[in-house]
Amino acid sequence: MSLVLMSCAVVVNLAHSQQSEAPSNDGWEIEVSEDSDHGHSHGEDAHGHEHGHGDSNEKTAAVTVWGDRFEIFLEHPYIVAGEPTPFVTHVTDLQELVPRTEGQIEFVLRLGTDLPIGRVAKTPVRDGIYIPELTFPKAGTWDISILIPLDGEEHIVKLPPTEVYASEGDVADAPEQEEIEGITFLKEQQWKFPFETVEFISGSGDFSVPEQAVVKGESGPMVFVHVAGETVQPRVVETEEPKDGRIVILSGLQDGDRVVVRGTDAILVSAESDGGHAHGEHGHEESGHGHEHGVSEEAEGDHGHEHGAEGDHPQGESDHGHEHGATGHGEADHHAVGAIHRSEEMRSSLDLTTAAATKGD
């Protein structure tokens, strides 16, 4: 069974904190929103992931950006100039491994040399989820930054250039994206368990991960790579023997790959479930809106996908600082574009166990 997400998926990995690059507020047009739901349902039922993007044929873009402190995963319909557009924005604290549950975020929109437009979303509508409606007055390629204040500092996450179309006709003519393979692992699942990734940088010495990050598949030792906000990919790797609870990965990764070092067990439950997680047009298919879950109650607890659902977020000891030759953020932006599906070849390779993989197994 194939897994299809007919949406644009853009992944960006930012190298460093950009706190010093914040544009001046002089001349900004600031709108403050209380962030009411604006009619967007957020999965009140057990299986809803309803972001309220309109009908099921609506083209939707999905963007993932890893910043210095926060990961942004957002979805929005293709944008038409002058029309309010909901930006369903998931904000994850990469240090604490939890959703942002309070405080504002601000979107700064700029087209060329025009004065920037600021839009403040004061509070999340659910834990980790903000839904401002943004209006872009002109067609063109816009720059968007998200400003996130925390502990007296302002963290800036820059999105890739965003296209705004002049008309619905232009949206209809805009191309769909090519497909890439992936396994869906929802934000609400990630937020219920410690979910942590570490970026692979080649040429910087040995790269090691905890033993539990490596699993056995039909094709050999595998790790999971976080390729987009709600998508992971299995990668076959060559490893050394485990030592002191860690395994050195010798080959099979590319620069910028974000290897899952905590949360593998929850991914395995999702991958081994019956039917997977079917995405429809713009990523939500439940009579046009919902997600179909293939996740067992063992992983989800209530088998739900509820925005803002209460759940523990055990932290444990962070794995930061244990990956030799790896840093938290790469030197270059990392992009991936495409709709997501799971091929039969990928499904057959996922004969997985939770035992650590070693040479000679």
* Tens place of pLDDT per residue across the chain (361 aa): 333 333 445 555 543 334 434 444 444 555 555 444 444 444 333 334 444 444 557 899 999 999 999 999 999 999 999 999 999 999 999 999 999 999 999 999 999 999 999 999 999 999 999 999 999 999 999 999 999 999 999 999 999 999 999 999 999 999 876 666 788 888 988 998 889 898 888 776 789 899 889 998 888 899 999 988 888 889 899 889 989 999 998 888 988 889 999 888 888 887 776 344 433 333 333 333 333 333 333 333 333 334 333 444 444 444 443 343 333 333 333 333 333 344 444 444 444 333 333 233 3
With b for 16 or more beta-carbon neighbours within 10 A and e for fewer, the 8-31 pattern comes to bbbbbbbbeebeeeebeeeebeee
- Tokens 């094709």 belong to 219
Same domain, 188 and 155: no
> Which range of residues forms the domain containing residue 26?
8-179
Question: What is d(CA 174, CA 201) in angstroms, rounded to the nearest whole number?
Answer: 35
Residue 357 included in any domain = no
Residue 354 included in any domain = no
Phi-psi region of 245 (alpha: psi -120 to 50; beta: other; left: phi over 0): left
pLDDT at position 176: 77
Same domain, 53 and 153: yes
Q: How many CB atoms lie within 10 A of CB 200?
A: 25
pLDDT at position 173: 95
Residue 149 included in any domain = yes
Same domain, 189 and 170: no
Q: Give how many domains the chain has, as a whole number.
A: 2
Same domain, 54 and 70: yes
Task: Return the C-alpha torsion angle 11, 15, 17, 21, nearest 10.
Answer: -90
271's enclosing H/E stretch is helix 264-272
Question: What is d(CA 219, CA 352) in angstroms, rounded to the nearest whole number?
Answer: 10
Question: What is d(CA 148, CA 155) in angstroms, rounded to the nearest whole number?
Answer: 5
Burial class (CB in 10 A: 0-12, 13-18, 19+), 349: middle
- Listed in sequence order, the residues at least 6 apart from 243 whose beta carbon sits closer than 8 Å to its beta carbon are none
Q: Please tell me the pTM assigned to this model.
A: 0.67
Question: What is d(CA 309, CA 290) in angstroms, rounded to the nearest whole number?
Answer: 16
Residue 1 included in any domain = no
With b for 16 or more beta-carbon neighbours within 10 A and e for fewer, the 80-111 pattern comes to bbeeebbbbbbbbbbeebbbbeeebbbbbbbb
Longest Cα–Cα distance in the chain: 64
Residue 358 included in any domain = no
Look at residue 179 and give its three-state secondary structure.
Answer: strand
What is the CATH classification number for the domain harbouring 294?
A: 2.40.420.20
pLDDT at position 246: 92
What is the CATH classification number for the domain harbouring 142?
A: 2.60.40.1930
- Listed in sequence order, the residues at least 6 apart from 42 whose beta carbon sits closer than 8 Å to its beta carbon are 48, 50, 51, 125, 126, 129, 306, 307, 308
Cα-Cα-Cα-Cα dihedral sign, residues 278, 337, 348, 219: negative
| 117-121 vs 29-33, strand pairing mode | parallel
With CA atoms as reference, report the closest residue to 62 among 278, 260, 271, 279: 279
Bridge partners (DSSP) listed for residue 11: 64
- Distance set, CA 322 to CA 32, 98, 198, 260 (Å): 42, 20, 10, 13
Same domain, 24 and 38: yes
Q: Which of the listed residues 150, 179, 208 is the one where a domain comes to its end?
A: 179
Same domain, 194 and 172: no
Look at residue 351 and give its three-state secondary structure.
Answer: coil
- Tokens 């929850």 belong to 266
Question: What is d(CA 164, CA 121) in angstroms, rounded to the nearest whole number?
Answer: 21
Bridge partners (DSSP) listed for residue 121: 33, 105
Q: Which of the listed residues 149, 179, 209 is the one where a domain comes to its end?
A: 179
Question: What is d(CA 179, CA 8) in angstroms, rounded to the nearest whole number?
Answer: 9
Same domain, 256 and 328: yes
Question: What is d(CA 193, CA 315) in angstroms, rounded to the nearest whole number?
Answer: 8
73's enclosing H/E stretch is strand 70-77
Same domain, 186 and 157: no
Q: What would the two tokens of residue 90 be?
A: 């998931």
Question: What is d(CA 167, CA 139) in angstroms, rounded to the nearest whole number?
Answer: 9
Same domain, 19 and 167: yes
Q: What would the two tokens of residue 225 be?
A: 């790579």
Residue 146 included in any domain = yes
Same domain, 195 and 162: no
Residue 286 included in any domain = yes
Same domain, 166 and 194: no
Same domain, 341 and 207: yes
Q: What would the two tokens of residue 245 be?
A: 């609870």
CA-angle at 273, arms to 236 and 264, nearest 5°:
45
DSSP label at residue 23: P
Q: Which of the listed residues 163, 179, 195 is the one where a domain comes to its end?
A: 179
